[in-house]
Amino acid sequence: MQIEVAEFGKMSQSGNSLLKLIQNNDLPILDLLVREALQNSLDAGMKVEGHDSVHVDIGIKDVDVSGFAKHLDGISERLIEKFGDSPQKAIYIEDANTTGLTGSLDFKHSPNSNIFKLIYGISMAQETPGAGGSWGLGKTVYFRVGIGLVVYYSHILNEDGQFQHRLAVTLVENEKLPNTIIPKTNEKVPSGIAWWGQRVSPDSDDTIPITDETMIRDILHSLSIQPFEGERLGTKIIIPFIDEQQLLIKHEINPDENKPWETNVADYIGVAMQRWYSPRLANKKYTYGKYLDGHINGKRLEKEDFLPLFLELQMMYNAAAIGSKTNRYMVNDIQIRNYFEHNKVNNAGRVAYRKFTKKELDMLAPLNGPSPYTCVNENNPMGEQNAPLMAYVRRPGMIINYETDGEWCKGLHATEENEYLVSIFVPNSNTKLMNPDNEVTDLEAYLRKSEMADHTSWTDIIIKGKPFDIVEKIRSQVRRKIKASYESKEEVKGKQGLNTLARNVGKMLLPPTGFGRRASSRNRGGGTKPVANKSSRGNSFTIVSQKYLDTGDLEVHFQMKLSKSVSAFTIELFIASEGGKISATDWESEDSVGTPFPAKITRISFPDTIGLFGRSAAQKSDRKVLHAVRIEKISEPVECSGILAFNCTDPHVQVEMLMKPEGSVVNGQ
């Protein structure tokens, strides 16, 4: 293969600058490699039809130094001299069911082709909806894994409908170091960047990928790599001359815990694949496209291979993304006002969370598994207690980061030594912005644009000169929902006393009057003030008091006045939201929350009303939740008291209780 050395010129990159472009000092190099490689492969599999997954295999191979070096014009002797006397290894990343290195071989004829984006270009914005981020910046991690050499091989279907093998090699090195590999000339300033391929033309220094199948097979054989056969499409990236021990970092987080993956590169990659892609790895319920079919050294990563934490995170992700009913986790909607086209209760997404015991995470003998902090390489800032562990993720299925302190966790209480609070936030990616611009039209695009080049955090951005605070509002609501879930009644009693407890919990009920209108006054203590509003037809419905029973039900006492013309009435529970009240039917709709209605009537009675009322009918939702009762009435005026008790399974919602009369409205009286 012939060499092309990049010229150093105006506005050009150098090898030294490229290696520093994404200099992330927080994540180990193997974590960065896994995050970037898997995302590139998943993006490349988005448009390939006929498969429900993207096959990705990462592993280690032996390198035949002389057999490989002989193909690289200009550096063959240097490679053999430097590496030929000792066994050498390479990391490979293989994906299949993907588009591959498509486009014109000469990138100047197709500057937006995959060939240019992956091999020859840098810092190009990713334009595919739902893709992981920016082309070019993340891929610089490939050059930091070994000595800067990267081999790109792909089997594609070209523009003529023919299968074609393509291969090119890139080298990026720090040109300022004394022992560089790229040959130097007296006439040119070294750039630290070179490519190998075939000449575009005899009189040109530019190169393009080679397509000679015999040569490609020989190069792959020297790297212990099998070529794609038949109609199988995909790409293989091979990084030779790695130092396995240098790649493995011994973390000081919980040094006494068992971390077998830190002694072997392949094992580390397997855990890193779970750590960052557990929402999508082997997850056939993944909702935003193809799931990740991950392999290590050719062996599929099954769910049985997962560390317990990552298996739980996948199931929590599914619960939050799909909004399915689960008794194992708590799942809460996150709603943001003023930014989105609609005010659905989950317009910003959902958070799923749970407290896990050491036994549930296989941390006790004889398994003695690692703690959640060790699994994700995070410190526990709480010392003897356990800090909350928060993860967040968007559509591509890569966990952006894990946090144990900072804005995501501020104000959340630590748990005791034997349990861990783990949570994951999943945005409602398709939620449309109220005032979008050309690039940011929905929540997914907003979060994607807010990420840094290494995709390790979200931060609010400015759109059309206006600063937004969507991320801060999401974080604030996530904290509030989780905190409220674990504030026990005993803790509130100790702080505020029994009377204050009754008032605060009573806020779940927004007592309405006048057949669907909320009560218009409250006392300063936060409880509800008895109100007796009358309609023009002489009908009224007033909440008098409410209290919690030992069973956990909320018992509501009310007064009701019905005119002679009322033939029947219905008392129904609704959920209050910023966009209006939500009925059981609307709540359980797949277009809304999609879970069972959280408020269930357990008892209703009318003391001293013998002979005033007729038949009653319980009204249940599609998910069999009793949310309303319809009662017939005699043709005489009625003034009475009533008691209704209900149970609410979600401590974060507010419940409205409404009465709707029949007859007076229907008959126009």
* 560's tokens: 């009701």
**Does residue 234 surpass a pLDDT of 90?**
yes
**Does residue 453 surpass a pLDDT of 70?**
no
For helices 265-277 and 29-44, angle between their N-to-C axes, nearest 10 degrees: 60
SS3 (DSSP) at 201: coil
Residue closest to 105 by CA, chosen among 206, 5, 192: 206
First to last CA, the chain: 93
The C-alpha atoms of residue 152 and residue 209 are separated, in whole angstroms, by 9
pLDDT value at position 469? 93
**Does residue 110 surpass a pLDDT of 90?**
no
The pairing of strands 654-662 and 568-577 is: antiparallel
The C-alpha atoms of residue 168 and residue 178 are separated, in whole angstroms, by 26
Q: How confident is the model at residue 501 (pLDDT cuts 50, 70, 90)?
A: very low
- Judged by phi (left if over 0) then psi (alpha if -120 to 50, else beta), residue 234 lies in left
Query: Which of 494 and 471 is assigned the larger pLDDT?
Result: 471
Contacts with 337 (C-beta within 8 Å, 6 or more apart), sequence order: 343, 578
Q: What is the pLDDT of residues 254-312, one digit of tens each?
A: 777 888 899 999 999 999 999 999 999 999 999 899 999 999 999 999 999 999 999 99
Provide the β-strand partners of residue 59. 92
- Which stretch of DSSP H or E encloses residue 274? helix 265-277
Q: Let me know the angle formed at the C-alpha of 440 by 435 and 441, rounded to the nearest 5 degrees.
A: 60
The C-alpha atoms of residue 618 and residue 612 are separated, in whole angstroms, by 18
Please report, for residues 98, 134, 142, the alpha-carbon distance to residue 36 in angstroms, rounded to integers and kept in the order given: 16, 10, 9
pLDDT value at position 517? 33
* 605's tokens: 């009675």
Q: How many residues does the chain have?
A: 669
Provide the β-strand partners of residue 454. none
Q: What residue has token string 């002679």?
A: 564
Point out the least confidently predicted range of 99-103, 111-115, 518-522, 546-550: 518-522
The pairing of strands 88-96 and 53-63 is: antiparallel
Average pLDDT, the chain: 84
Q: What is the pLDDT of residues 43-55, one digit of tens each?
A: 888 778 889 999 9
Point out the least confidently predicted range of 129-138, 143-152, 504-513, 553-562: 504-513
**Does residue 365 surpass a pLDDT of 80?**
yes
**Does residue 510 surpass a pLDDT of 50?**
no
Contacts with 252 (C-beta within 8 Å, 6 or more apart), sequence order: none
State the pTM of this model: 0.72
SS3 (DSSP) at 266: helix
The C-alpha atoms of residue 461 and residue 459 are separated, in whole angstroms, by 7
* 38's tokens: 């898997």
Q: How confident is the model at residue 511 (pLDDT cuts 50, 70, 90)?
A: very low
- Provide mean pLDDT across the span 512-529: 32
- Which stretch of DSSP H or E encloses residue 80? helix 76-83
The C-alpha atoms of residue 399 and residue 261 are separated, in whole angstroms, by 20
pLDDT value at position 58? 98
The C-alpha atoms of residue 539 and residue 562 are separated, in whole angstroms, by 5
- Provide mean pLDDT across the span 215-227: 98
Q: How confident is the model at residue 25 (pLDDT cuts 50, 70, 90)?
A: low
User: Are 546 and 656 spatial neighbours (Cβ–Cβ below 8 Å)?
Assistant: no
User: Are 65 and 88 spatial neighbours (Cβ–Cβ below 8 Å)?
Assistant: yes
User: Are 146 and 214 spatial neighbours (Cβ–Cβ below 8 Å)?
Assistant: no
pLDDT value at position 257? 84
Residue closest to 93 by CA, chosen among 52, 143, 38: 38
- Provide mean pLDDT across the span 661-669: 54
**Does residue 93 surpass a pLDDT of 90?**
yes
Contacts with 364 (C-beta within 8 Å, 6 or more apart), sequence order: 358
Percent with pLDDT over 90 in the chain: 50
User: Are 176 and 19 spatial neighbours (Cβ–Cβ below 8 Å)?
Assistant: no
The C-alpha atoms of residue 500 and residue 316 are separated, in whole angstroms, by 35
**Does residue 495 surpass a pLDDT of 80?**
no
240: amino acid identity, one letter:
P
DSSP summary character for residue 58: E
DSSP summary character for residue 460: -
User: Are 259 and 371 spatial neighbours (Cβ–Cβ below 8 Å)?
Assistant: no
Is there a cis peptide before residue 366, judged by omega within 30 degrees of 0?
yes
